[in-house]
Structure 1
């Protein structure tokens, strides 16, 4: 394991035991669960992967594509810094991280939980750097995201995308959160009908249950899909 810090962002590299393997980037709200995620991946006997986690994020800014009001009384507003952060991530964090990796990279993936799951989907529209993505309990309730997905073109169609939500996440009176399962299923179906390989997983529990296990499951799914030829824009 190798860690470094850039602009207050902590980047941790969980280097694979072999060279020439995929690299998956995982934006996280806290770093405490990252060791557990990597250990679960190894226990699942997934294909070899180098996992790169990024923490120390300004969560409601870095992970959100545009401004949005607080979704509840005690919540903070979202301030739409995803473009700025993605530019920093792809031009500064990724090159520095990959300079420290042994061997070649067979493909890159992007994964995230909650708002980072929203970011993983949005990023596919802004950059062609990632060929696979996982939106794990992703915040696809976010105002305007479903209209954006349906009306914009990806930078490059990915090989596959993983989606999941908790079975209790939409059981709420909150007008934003109650749409999360419906929106996620509609977005997954939209991509599937475009010919992209997708899956939707309904996990038991609410948004905060078994985050490390859910994240590992999403990353594991990405790792086990057969590599496809690059697709053209739709």
Structure 2
């Protein structure tokens, strides 16, 4: 299902796309989901009940990574480590803009993404508490020093719902850090379960790029239940 896009604009280098429920009523509030990488079609099962906000970074290798790190392979650009700046723009201005345009239910705001977009979302837990749900699907938890960071730093957004889903065969056929992706992911899951005993922590049998639609549908079904969306 390809969603209709009702509004598009640029915010501090972030391309923003908004899909409203077809029966959107400005006199009532709606839950909203902010999705890194902006592919809102993955969330289409929620589109009649939720305001969907796609966020496309101008440079995801910078904006979705918590600190600078060397590229994993020769010839690839290094990771820029600008997630803090990205989140300052997102939570320090863009969210206010969205709330001025639409009636958002502040008790039902979600933020997350896939791969590096999921890594960034989990990183936000330690600095920002503006959303009530954070989700990561196949989050890039192999990122250098991220396991240590999650174990040692204090979580800021303790009161939110947390959904983590990773694949048991992520990193297959790699010889760098990616080869150990499930091991790193398991450590992140274990560490954050202590802070979020009511969170959802899932390992499926797939690789990194497999069953993406199915994974988002599983998240969407879980969120609909938690948010009591019909």
Which structure exhibits the higher relative contact order, with contacts defined as CA atoms closer than 8 Å and separated by 6 or more residues? Answer: 1
Alpha-carbon contact 2:57-2:63 (below 8 Å) kept: no
Alpha-carbon contact 2:43-2:216 (below 8 Å) kept: no
106-115 or 95-104: which moved more? 95-104
TM-score of the pair, normalised by structure 1: 0.83
Alignment partner of 2:33 out of 24, 33, 39: 24
Report matched runs for 1:1-234 at 5 Å: 1-16=6-21, 17=24, 19-28=28-37, 31=38, 33-34=39-40, 36-42=41-47, 48-102=49-103, 104-225=105-226
Alpha-carbon contact 1:165-1:202 (below 8 Å) kept: yes
Q: Structure 1 residues 194, 103: CA separation in 2 closer, same or farther (over 3 Å shift)? A: closer
| Residue-pair matches, total | 219
Q: CA deviation at 1:186?
A: 2.1
Q: CA deviation at 1:197?
A: 1.7
Alpha-carbon contact 2:158-2:195 (below 8 Å) kept: no
Q: Is the partner of 1:177 in helix, strand or coil?
A: helix
Alpha-carbon contact 2:35-2:54 (below 8 Å) kept: yes
* Residues in 2 aligned to 1:188 and 1:158: alpha-carbon distance in whole angstroms: 17
* Residues in 2 aligned to 1:196 and 1:21: alpha-carbon distance in whole angstroms: 27
Alpha-carbon contact 1:166-1:202 (below 8 Å) kept: yes
What is the aligned partner in structure 1 of residue 3 from structure 2?
Answer: none
What is the aligned partner in structure 2 of residue 231 from structure 1?
Answer: none
Alpha-carbon contact 1:22-1:50 (below 8 Å) kept: yes
Per-residue CA deviation, residues 9-34 of structure 1 (Å, 9 max, x unaligned), is 22112224463232221111xx4x32
TM-score of the pair, normalised by structure 2: 0.84
Q: Structure 1 residues 130, 179: CA separation in 2 closer, same or farther (over 3 Å shift)? A: farther
Q: Is the partner of 2:199 in helix, strand or coil?
A: strand
Alpha-carbon contact 1:60-1:77 (below 8 Å) kept: yes
